[in-house]
A and B are shown apart, each in its own frame.
Chain A
Amino acid sequence: MSNYFLESEMESYKWNRKNLLGIEELTPKEIKKILKLAKFFKKGINGDPIKKDYLKGKRIVNLFMEPSTRTRIAFEIAAKSLNADVISVAEQSSSLTKGETLRDTAMNIQALGADAIVLRHSSPGSPLFLSRLVDVPIVNAGDGAHEHPSQALLDLFTLHERWECLEGKKITILGDILFSRVARSNFWALSKMGAEVTFAGPSTLVPKQFQSMGAKVCYDLREALEDADAVMLLRIQHERQSSSHFPSLSEYTNIFGLNNDRKKWLKEGALILHPGPVNRGVELDSELTDSSQSVILEQVSNGIAVRMAILYLCTNSEYRADK
């Protein structure tokens, strides 16, 4: 183990959870702890001397049962940056195609000596399900429409770099909220940090019942944009929606797409976020994607430092199962 941290500093990185299953269960203090450690790792990436052996000898298995570019690569780079051994398994290349259940796959991965499993799966709750079956820490890399905690943490990290404090900030999340784990995790993360979250988009994709979680719900794009300090756009996921949720992509673009004209409704300096992949010209004009207000690529690179922090904490947890 590296001596890079001072002993006293190590104390502040004590982590009492075995898994990272979602943001809903985290306390604001825990969230801040992850962000602080991510900041430290980011300095390392940017050239400060950093010992790289924090995860040396650890086996991290990326079990990705759904397509992913950013998240999978970022987890891989994060683990490799800390000198972990990384094995990535995709559904197509695993025995799941032979009918093996997720449960058996995970038990086998545990038997093969994994120190952490990073799981992306289409079933909501599947990381919790696995965490009950195996002793290995489970990191949720997106479970159906439930949570995507590492995405929300990197979004927080990105906003923190710009703003120092999120208390009282207004964030609008726009688009397909119903099927979005990013929206849910970001809602928990942002509101735990004191920000106010508005969900906006077509009523069929933004059910009013989200209000019971504590979010504001708005169907008027102008109103949703005018107040916002940042707007987070979500990809319209044609693969998940039946045709009953909205008539067509062009109708969506007409009513809810963010373009140069509508950008004027935003406050000066309001930030534009997107978890990717962007459908250019659908939810967001191509020009705006690349504009100075857009922090989309910062989000992506911050994803590495945040995931380094997550992997470090989960594999060095003080957690002991009550036995």
Chain B
Amino acid sequence: MMSSITHLKGGRVIDPVNNTDEIKDLFFMDGIIIKTPEKNLESKVKEVNVEGKIVFPGLVDLRTHLRNISGGQAENIKTVTAAAPAGGYTTLLLMPDICPMADNTGTIQYIQDRILKYASIKILLCGCLTKEARGESLAPLGSLKENGVVAISDCPRTTQNNQIFTKGVEYASMFNLPIIELPRDRSLSENWTAHDGPLALKLGLGGFPRIAEELFVQRAISVSKSVGTQIHLSSISTCGSVDMIREAKRKNVKISADVTAHHLSLNESSINDYNPNFKTSPPLREEIDRTALIEGLNDGTIDCICSAHQPFQEHEKNVEFDLTPAGVTGLETALSICYEILIKENEFSWKNLISLMSSNPSTILGQANQQLVSGNWANIAIFDPNLNWNFDEANRISQAINSPFDGRNFTGKIIKTFFKGEEVYGF
């Protein structure tokens, strides 16, 4: 029996890889995008009217954390892969700070097994650079790759020892494994709770100074130059980091970077009343940093936008500000935030935004880009730019509550997401 064909009719289709931004129809069948079907198949076609909506390849996140993969109250593979498509994501890179840590093949196999069982979208695995991400000895990177790991990182930790980091980069390059580094000098940011600036000083909070990030951005640039391999900097947050990366790229150093969606939208003033949902990793910084990050995206210095989704349960997150773990959720709101800040306020093109959130992250992970041409998987997200909505309990899908945008009103929302042709989200 012949399968049915889905017809996305009249949408504005954005496909940066094929340089497309036009009103056109899309068809897919059995999970695969197909050409306009023959007249005789018309009876099989299920039409979805998407006029006035934006249609683009599913987004790819370079930084999703889960500390629990088995279930229960905490965010897990099932809940995170239900939440992510609500933000247009069809691929997530799962960071290795899971319990147990993704630093050995047994754990990787176990996670793969859970993914097979529970994931409704694609989850790629990031393995540890060092054992238990302690920064003391290298994890078995080659074996991790054999078991399906596509990138290496100690994120949200950072290997402090320069010898181990450099050798790790060198060793990973043998396997073509991209290294993802969250730049942070621990000695300069011990006991940090906020950006080291006037506000933290007033509030009596321990500071994470810009220099603690920038020294390690410089380290990554130097190591990349010396080893001759790509290093990806995750979640950069300071204007100085943007400058250094811009300069390094000008000299053709193989460095790439991403920024979180919340760092594009918020600055340190949000922590003024010690709301734990604004304690991010790295911290929210000053307005000059926020605008520099947007400028960095605009001129190509920063390659991607990530969600840095770090789910916590209410009782874990809602404690004293210096004791609350750093990290916020982001998968469901990242695109709406970026639409507001980048497209509406800063005149980014849709093509640019979708490359920053879909094709560029895929390229960094060495994965095939999502494209909206026949023969590709139908991993497709549909966005209504005029839909007014509240990010509240009624609309939230993630099991975690620690979003800085809790209760906020947005214009523009993902209304449908397909993964391999299956509708994995519908508003």
Contact = CB atoms under 8 A, between A and B. Distances in A.
A125 B321 contact: yes
Interface string B201-222: 1111100000000000000000
B274 A129 contact: yes
Contact of A124 (B197, B198, B318, B321): B321
A123 B322 CA distance: 6
A124 B319 contact: no
A125 B203 contact: yes
Interface in A119-156: 121-126, 128-129, 143-147
A207 B197 CA distance: 10
Contact of B322 (A144, A207, A209, A210): A144
A181 B319 CA distance: 21
B321 A129 contact: yes
B204 A209 contact: no
A281 B333 CA distance: 57
Given A125-B273, A129-B274, A209-B201, 5 more contacts: A123-B323, A124-B193, A128-B273, A129-B321, A209-B198
A181 B203 CA distance: 9
A184 B201 CA distance: 9
A102 interface: yes
Contacts of B190: 242
B320 A184 contact: no
Contacts of A102: 319-320
Contact of A181 (B204, B273, B318, B322): B204
B197 A103 contact: no
Interface string A97-113: 00001110000000000
Contacts of B273: 125, 128
Contacts, number: 61
A124 B201 contact: no
Given A124-B204, A128-B274, A144-B204, A209 B320 contact: no
Interface in B265-324: 273-274, 315, 318-323
Contacts of A242: 190
Contacts of A101: 315, 319
Contacts of A143: 204
A143 B320 CA distance: 11
| Residue from the set B193, B197, B201 with the largest chain A CB neighbour count within 10 Å | B201
Nearest to B198: A212
Given A103-B318, A129-B320, A209-B198, A184 B204 contact: yes
A151 to B, nearest CB: 14
A123 B321 contact: yes
A213 interface: yes
A103 B203 contact: no
Contacts of B320: 102, 121, 123, 125-126, 129
B193 to A, nearest CB: 8
Nearest to B323: A123
Contacts of A207: 201
Interface string A177-192: 0100100100000000
6 contacts: A129-B274, A129-B319, A144-B204, A146-B203, A146-B205, A212-B198
A129 B321 CA distance: 8
Given A123-B323, A125-B274, A129-B320, A213 B204 contact: no
A156 B202 CA distance: 20
Q: In the A-B complex, list the 3 residue pairs whose CB atoms are closest, starting with the nearest.
A: A125-B274, A145-B204, A146-B204
Interface in A178-227: 178, 181, 184, 207, 209-210, 212-213
B325 to A, nearest CB: 14
A209 B197 CA distance: 7
Contacts of B318: 103
Contact of B198 (A103, A129, A213): A213
A235 B101 CA distance: 44
Given A124-B204, A209-B198, A213-B202, A103 B319 contact: yes
Interface string B52-82: 0000000000000000000000000000000
Nearest to A210: B201
A93 B279 CA distance: 31
Given A103-B318, A209-B197, A212-B198, A124 B203 contact: yes
Contacts of B193: 124
A145 B322 CA distance: 11
A208 to B, nearest CB: 10
Interface in B133-169: none
Contacts of B315: 101
Nearest to A178: B201
Contacts of B204: 124-125, 143-147, 181, 184
Contacts of B198: 209, 212-213
